[in-house]
Structure 1
Amino acid sequence: MEPNASTHIRNIGIFAHVDAGKTTTTEQILFHSGRIRSLGSVDAGTSQTDFLEVERSRGISVRAAATRFTWQGVTINLVDTPGHVDFLSEVERSLRVMDGAVLILSAVEGVQAQTEVIWHALRERNIPTLIYVNKLDRIGADPIGTIQQIKRLLSNQAAPVQAPLGIEDRFSGAVSLLVSGISGSETEEAQLYLQQLEETVAEQDESLLVQYLDSGTLPKAELNQLLPELTQRGELFPILFGASNRGIGIEPLMQAMITLLPPPQIVSDGPVSGVVFRIERDAAMGRIAYVRLYSGVIRNRDSVRNETQQIEEKITQIRKIDGQKAEDVGLLAAGDIAAVCGWTQARIGDIIGSAEFVPGETRMAVPLLTVQVRWSNEAEYPAVVAALHELADEDPLLDLQWLQEQRELHLKVMGPIQIEVLTHVLNNRYGLKAEFDQPSVIYKETPAQSGEGFIAYTMPKPCWAILRFHIEPGERGSGITFSSVVRSERLLDRYQNEVARSVPEALQQGLFGWEVTDIKVTLVEGEHHVWHTHPLDFAVATPMGIMDGLSRIGVKLLEPMLSFRLSAPEETGGKLMNELILMRGEFDTPVVRQERMEIEGIIPVATSLEFPARFGSLTKGRGALATFFAGYRECPPDVKAERVRRGVNPLDQSKYILAVRNALSSS
Structure 2
Amino acid sequence: MGFKEEIKRRRTFGIISHPDAGKTTLTEKLLLFGGAIHVAGAVKSNKIKKTATSDFMEIERQRGISVATSVMGFEYKGHKVNILDTPGHQDFAEDTYRTLTACDSVIIVIDVAKGVEEQTRKLMKVCRMRKTPVIVFINKMDRLGKDAFDLLDEIEQELELSVNPLSWPINMGPDFKGVYNIYNRNLSLFTPATQTVEESIDFDDLSNPKLEEYIGEDAEVLREELDLVSGVYPEFDVQDYLDAKIAPVFFGSALNNFGVRELLDVFIKIAPSPLPCQTVERQIQPEEDKFSGFVFKIHANMDPNHRDRIAFVKIVSGTFKRNTPYLHVRNGKKLKFSSPTAFMAEKKSIVEEAFPGDIIGLHDTGNFKIGDTLTEGEKINFKGIPSFSPELFKYIENADPMKSKQLAKGIDQLMDEGVAQLFTSQFNGRKVIGTVGALQFEVIEYRLLHEYSASCRWEPIHLHKACWIKTEDEEQLKEFKKAKYQYMAKDKHGRDVFLADSGYMLQMAQSNYPNLEFHLHQNFKSDRIWL
Per the normalisation by structure 1, the TM-score is 0.62
1:254 and 2:277 correspond: no
Offset of residue 322 of structure 1: 1.0
- Show the 5 A alignment for 1:261-660: 261-265=271-275, 266-280=285-299, 281=301, 282=303, 283-284=305-306, 286-341=308-363, 344-353=366-375, 359-361=382-384, 363=386, 365-395=388-418, 397-403=419-425, 406-438=428-460, 440-443=462-465, 455=475, 508-509=497-498, 551=512
Structure 2 CA distance for partners of 1:383 and 1:170, relative to 1, 3 Å? same
Q: Distance in 2 between matches of 1:53 and 1:552?
A: 48
- What does residue 233 of structure 1 align with? 243
Kindly indicate whether the alpha-carbon contact (under 8 Å) linking 2:449 and 2:455 is maintained by their aligned counterparts in 1.
yes
Taking the aligned partners of 1:20 and 1:367, their CA distance within structure 2 comes to 27
CA displacement 1:296-334 (0-9 Å, x = unmatched): 222221111111232222101122111232221211222
Asked whether 1:181 is paired with 2:205, we answer yes
Q: Give the drift of 1:30.
A: 0.8
Alignment partner of 1:41 is 2:42: yes
Residue of structure 2 equivalent to 1:482: none
| Superposed displacement of residue 173, structure 1 | 2.5
Q: Which residue of 2 aligns with 1:645?
A: none
Partner Cα separation in structure 1 for residue 93 and residue 476 of structure 2:
46
Structure 2: any 5+ residue segments left out of the alignment?
186-203, 213-217, 276-284, 480-493, 521-529
* Native 8 Å contact 2:339 2:362 kept in 1: yes
Taking structure 1 as reference, are residues 191 and 264 closer, same or farther at Cα in structure 2, changes over 3 Å only?
A: farther
Q: Deviations over 1:11-57 (max 9, x none)?
A: 01000000000111101111122111111111116110001000000
AA aligned to 2:245 is E
- Cα 1:196–1:312 change in 2 (3 A) is same
2: distance between equivalents of 1:103 and 1:232?
Answer: 15
Return the offset for 1:141. 4.8
Structure 1 match to 2:523 = none
Q: Distance in 2 between matches of 1:6 and 1:387?
A: 38
Residue 80 of structure 1: aligned partner: 85
- Tell me if the contact between 1:446 and 1:516 (Cα under 8 Å) persists in the aligned partners: no
- Partner SS, residue 192 of structure 1: helix
Residue range with higher mean Cα deviation, 420-429 or 375-384: 375-384
1:192 aligned onto 2:225: yes
Q: Cα deviations across residues 410-455 of structure 1 (Å, max 9, x unaligned)?
A: 11112222222222111111122212224645337899xxxx9894
Q: Is the 8 A contact 2:463 2:501 kept in 1?
A: no
Whether the aligned pair in 2 keeps the contact of 1:315 and 1:343 (CA below 8 Å) is: no
Which one-letter code corresponds to 1:181 in the other structure? Answer: D
Q: CA deviation at 1:267?
A: 3.2
CA change 1:99–1:510 in 2 (3 A) is closer
What per-residue deviation string (whole Å, max 9, x for no partner) do you get for residues 536-590 of structure 1?
xxxxxxxxxxx8x9657799x999xxxxxxxxxxxxxxxxxxxxxxxxxxxxxxx
- Name the counterpart of 1:204: none
For 2:317 and 2:147, locate their aligned partners in 1 and report how far apart those are by CA, in whole Å.
45
What does residue 170 of structure 2 align with? 165
Aligned to 2:70: 65
**Cα distance in 1 for residues equivalent to 2:461 and 2:178:** 46
Residue 227 of structure 1 aligns with an amino acid whose one-letter code is: D
CA contact (8 A) 1:273 1:356 kept: no
The aligned counterpart of 1:50 is: 55
Distance 2:171 2:13 in 1: 29
Q: Secondary structure at the match of 1:186?
A: helix
Alignment of 1:84-99 (within 5 A): 84-99=89-104
Tell me, what secondary structure is at the counterpart of 2:233?
Answer: helix
**CA separation in 1, counterparts of 2:130 and 2:329?**
23
Go from structure 1 to structure 2 and tell me whether the alpha carbon gap of 1:117 and 1:186 turns closer, same or farther (over 3 Å shift).
Answer: farther
Equivalent residue letter for 2:258: I
> Which of structures 1 and 2 has the larger relative contact order (alpha carbons within 8 angstroms, sep 6+)?
2
| 1:106 aligned onto 2:129 | no
Q: Give the superposition deviation at 1:174.
A: 1.4
* Alpha-carbon contact 1:164-1:174 (below 8 Å) kept: yes
What count of residue pairs does the alignment treat as equivalent?
A: 459
Instruction: Please state how far the C-alpha of 1:139 moved relative to its aligned partner.
Output: 3.3
What is the CA–CA distance in structure 1 between the aligned matches of 2:72 and 2:435, rounded to whole Å?
27
Distance in 2, Cα, partners of 1:29 & 1:134: 14
TM-score by length of structure 2 reads 0.77
Q: Equivalents in 2 of 1:446, 1:418: separation in Å?
A: 22
Give the whole-Å Cα distance in 2 for the aligned partners of 1:334 and 1:310. 23
SS at the partner of 1:83? Answer: coil
SS in 2 for 1:252: helix
Write the deviation string for residues 367-407 of structure 1: whole angstroms up to 9, x where unpaired.
31111112213333332222111001112x41211348834
Identify the range of structure 1 (151-160 vs 34-43) with the bigger mean alpha-carbon deviation.
151-160
CA deviations 1:570-623 (Å, max 9, x no partner) are xxxxxxxxxxxxxxxxxxxxxxxxxxxxxxxxxxxxxxxxxxxxxxxxxxxxxx
User: How many angstroms apart in 1 are the aligned matches of 2:145 and 2:115?
Assistant: 11
Q: Match for 2:326: what amino acid?
A: V
What do residues 59-108 of structure 1 show as CA deviations (whole Å, max 9, x unaligned)?
00000000012221111100000000000111111111110100001001
Q: What is the one-letter code of the residue matched to 2:8?
A: T
Change (3 A) 1:190 1:52: farther
Q: Quick one: which amino acid aligns to residue 334 of structure 1?
A: P
Identity fraction in percent: 23
* Cα-to-partner distance string for 1:315-366 (whole Å, 9 max, x where unaligned): 0112211123222121122232222236641222111116788752254854
CA distance in 1 between partners of 2:365 and 2:405 (Å): 24
Determine the C-alpha separation between the residues in 1 that align with 2:465 and 2:436: 14
1:15 aligned counterpart, secondary structure: strand
Q: Indicate conservation of the 8 Å contact 1:288/1:340, yes or no.
A: yes
Amino acid at match of 2:84: V
Structure-2 change in CA distance of 1:293 and 1:156 (3 Å) = closer
What code does the residue aligned with 1:316 have?
S
Structure 1 pair 113/174, CA: closer, same or farther in 2 (3 Å)? same
Moved more, 325-334 or 385-394: 325-334
SS at match of 2:54: coil
Following superposition, the deviation at residue 510 of structure 1 comes to 7.6
Residue 186 to residue 151, structure 1, CA distance change in 2 (3 Å): farther
Is the Cα–Cα contact under 8 Å of residues 371 and 385 in structure 2 kept in the other structure?
Answer: no
The CA RMSD measured in Å over matched residues stands at 3.7
Which amino acid counterpart does residue 256 of structure 2 have in structure 1? R
Q: CA deviation at 1:142?
A: 3.7
Question: Are the structure 2 counterparts of residues 401 and 441 from structure 1 closer, same or farther at C-alpha, using a change threshold of 3 Å?
Answer: closer
In structure 1, what residue type is equivalent to 2:338?
T
Match of 2:252 in 1: 242
* Alpha carbons of structure 1 residues 554 and 320: separation in structure 2 relative to 1, 3 Å: closer
Residue identity matched to 2:414: L
